[in-house]
Amino acid sequence: MAEPLLRVERLTKRFGGVVASDDITLDVEPCELHAIIGPNGAGKTTLIGQLAGEIAPDAGCIRFDGHEITALRTDRRSARGLARSFQVTSLFLDFTALDNVALAVQAHAGHSFLFWRDARGDPALRDPARAALARVGLGARADMVVSEMSHGEHRLLELAMALATGPRLLLLDEPMAGLGPEESARVVTLLRTLKQEVAILLIEHDMEAVFALADRITVLFYGRIIASGPPDAIRRDAEVRKAYLGGQATGSRDG
Amino acid sequence: MTAPLNPRNAVVIAVLALLALLPVYCALAGNTFLLSLFTRIVILALAAVSLNLMMGFGGMVSFGHAVYLGIGGYVVGILAKEGVGSGFVQWPLALAVCGVFALAVGVLSLRTRGVYFIMITLAFAQMAYYVAGGLERYGGDDGLTINKRSAFGGAIDLANRTQFYYLCLALLLATVYLVWRLVNSRFGLVIQGVRSNERRMRAIGFPILRYKLVCFVISGVICGLAGVLLANHTHFISPAIMHWTRSGDLIVMAVLGGMGSVAGPVIGAVALLVLEEALSRVTEYWPIILGPLILLVVLYARGGIDAILARLGRG
């Protein structure tokens, strides 16, 4: 069998006495949506940080598209097709929505040592950026300054920026955090179409969304994987129910 | 894009007209002092514009920017003393030395941020300050007199005050235009993105260090040009020009005028130096008046004079 798109082997990260990632092994296939769930403090965001290259693991190895990337810089990983969104919205607040996404396009459109031409008038950057905004439903908000947009719009913009880098694997850190039901539903629909094109590693607390979308679910508990498998198996897993899901697995929102 | 005659543009046009017509007035009134003062203002405005490129747009606050004034000036002064009077040699060499110095400082400082970055840029400037003070052959602490302004064959006569003033003004305007193009180019959006959110820039795939470094070098070279002009203007160069208080002056000009706009530092330089000159005639305790004035602008008008004018425009 061919190697999966992302392969994480025995990844371990300690912060002082806390083991945030404890011997984590998992993989993501092309066009698979692999969800990571677990209570707060389970080490989900630390895992994304290591995959994106912001946090260096203490042990273990990360392979992407057949190459080891464990020691690769964040921007090099992005160039290879790894894109992330942030749990706590991380945008260019003083730019317009379109400027934000266009920068993400620009990062993957060759070097930026171009000093003369007006970048805001460059269709090679603006057109794909508008397309990405339209895709998340923000087409009409393109020229709004980001600091004046709502929280929900910020979450969608996070997604648009990750999309605009033309990724092969999306690392999504709670894209639905703080969204209303309508916005959440829109994101679920979007992710469902997206996963036909790119692989997605999704961290999310919205169990309804996770069980509706995921091809595979991995449960993290204090940095350790306690279960991994298709949604139905996870729903039935006794240890998972005890550790985390409680009565919510059947579909209540906002764990 | 913007309305042709809002208060902001009106002030910019007024300042430009004032700067352009000043030599005419000076010639008619026989006032050489005013021409000399404004030559100095135009040169320091150029330095403030260069600082603002990295500080206002790139988010890199340098507390040692005056070092490039010194390096540019010393290259001119040293070459002149050694008998090389041609501007075609002096000027490119001065800019090249500034570029190399900026590259070295940038490589060592740009991995740090915030206060640490400020301290490293300050440390390098102070080092240059003391090195210059130790150059016995070139006057040491007392400085070096430059007997002749740079010679450009018959192209332009810098010894002529009016011609020199217009050259400085032309270089300032050309630089403002160049920086304006630059901040709106792909490169400019990258450095503004770095100012806004460095982490996100990395996440979307930018190797940001090299962009910061290039911005740092461009800024240093432009300031080096101001140093070349200043040495020519005063016929003199001394370590004092690199003192940290001079770097502070440049920061004040940029902040006072407005860091968010390319022309803001020009307004800031004119405002600060004219006020300084005017107040010093009223009282020798002029800093007591100037200090609080600057404080008021900084406290109540983030974005400086430029932002005040822009606000007036919106009503």
pLDDT surpassing 70 at residue B22? yes
Interface of B with A in 24-53 (CB under 8 A): none
> What residues of chain B lie within 8 A of the CB of A102, using their CB?
189
Mean pLDDT on A111-135:
96
Using one digit for the tens of pLDDT, what is the confidence trace for A130-144?
Answer: 999 999 999 999 999
> What residues of chain A lie within 8 A of the CB of B201, using their CB?
103, 107
Q: Is B180 on the interface with A (CB under 8 A)?
A: no
Mean pLDDT on B296-300:
86
Q: Domain boundaries in chain B?
A: 23-246
B228 phi and psi angles, rounded to 5 deg: -60, -45
Q: Which helix (H) or strand (E) holds B236?
A: strand B236-237
A86 phi and psi angles, rounded to 5 deg: -105, 145
Stretch among A45-54, A240-249, B61-70, B221-230 having the lowest mean pLDDT: A240-249
Q: Is B283 on the interface with A (CB under 8 A)?
A: no
Confidence category of residue B3, pLDDT binned at 50, 70, 90: low
Mean pLDDT on A177-195:
91
- This prediction has a pTM of 0.92
Which residue reads 């990844």 in tokens?
A: A11
pLDDT value, residue B308: 87
Q: Which of B186, B197, B200 sits opposite A112 (nearest CB)?
A: B186
Q: What is the CA radius of gyration of chain A?
A: 18
More confident residue, B315 or B293: B293
Interface of A with B in 91-120 (CB under 8 A): 91-95, 99, 102-104, 106-108, 112-120
Q: Which residue of B has its CA nearest to A105?
A: B204
pLDDT value, residue B315: 61
How much is the mean pLDDT over chain B?
93
pLDDT surpassing 70 at residue B38? yes
Q: Which residue of A has its CA nearest to B209?
A: A75
Mean pLDDT on B82-102:
97
Q: Which of B189, B197, B205 sits opposite A90 (nearest CB)?
A: B197
Query: Are A120 and B208 a contacting pair at CB < 8 A?
Result: no
CATH numbers and ranges of domains, chain A: 1-81+167-255 (3.40.50.300), 91-166 (no CATH)
Query: How far is A215 from chain B, CA to nearest CA, in Å?
Result: 26
> What residues of chain A lie within 8 A of the CB of B200, using their CB?
86, 90-92, 161
Using one digit for the tens of pLDDT, what is the confidence trace for B134-150?
Answer: 999 999 999 999 999 99
Torsion of CA A35, A16, A89, A189, to 10 degrees: 0
Query: How far is A122 from chain B, CA to nearest CA, in Å?
Result: 9
Using one digit for the tens of pLDDT, what is the confidence trace for B147-184?
Answer: 999 999 888 999 999 999 999 999 999 999 999 999 99
**CB burial of residue A164 (10 Å; 0-12, 13-18, 19+):** buried
Query: Are B203 and A84 a contacting pair at CB < 8 A?
Result: yes
pLDDT value, residue A251: 43
More confident residue, A206 or A34: A34
More confident residue, B91 or B16: B91
Q: How is residue B80 written in tokens? A: 């002149």
pLDDT surpassing 50 at residue B287? yes
Are A196 and A31 a contacting pair, CB within 8 Å?
A: yes
pLDDT value, residue A55: 95
Q: What is the 3-state secondary structure (H, E, C) of chain A?
A: CCCCCEEEEEEEEEECCEEEEEEEEEEECCCCEEEEECCCCCCHHHHHHHHHCCCCCCEEEEEECCEECCCCCHHHHHHHCEEECCCCCCCCCCCEHHHHHHHHHHCCCCCCCCCCCCHHHCHHHHHHHHHHHHHCCCHHHCCCEHHHCCHHHHHHHHHHHHHHCCCCEEEEECCCCCCCHHHHHHHHHHHHHHCCCCEEEEECCCHHHHHHHCCEEEEEECCEEEEEECHHHHHHCHHHHHHHHCCHHHCCCCC
pLDDT surpassing 90 at residue A165? yes
Using a pLDDT cut of 90, give the percent of chain B over it: 80
CA B28 to CA B21: how far, in whole Å? 11
Q: Is B207 on the interface with A (CB under 8 A)?
A: yes
pLDDT surpassing 80 at residue B75? yes
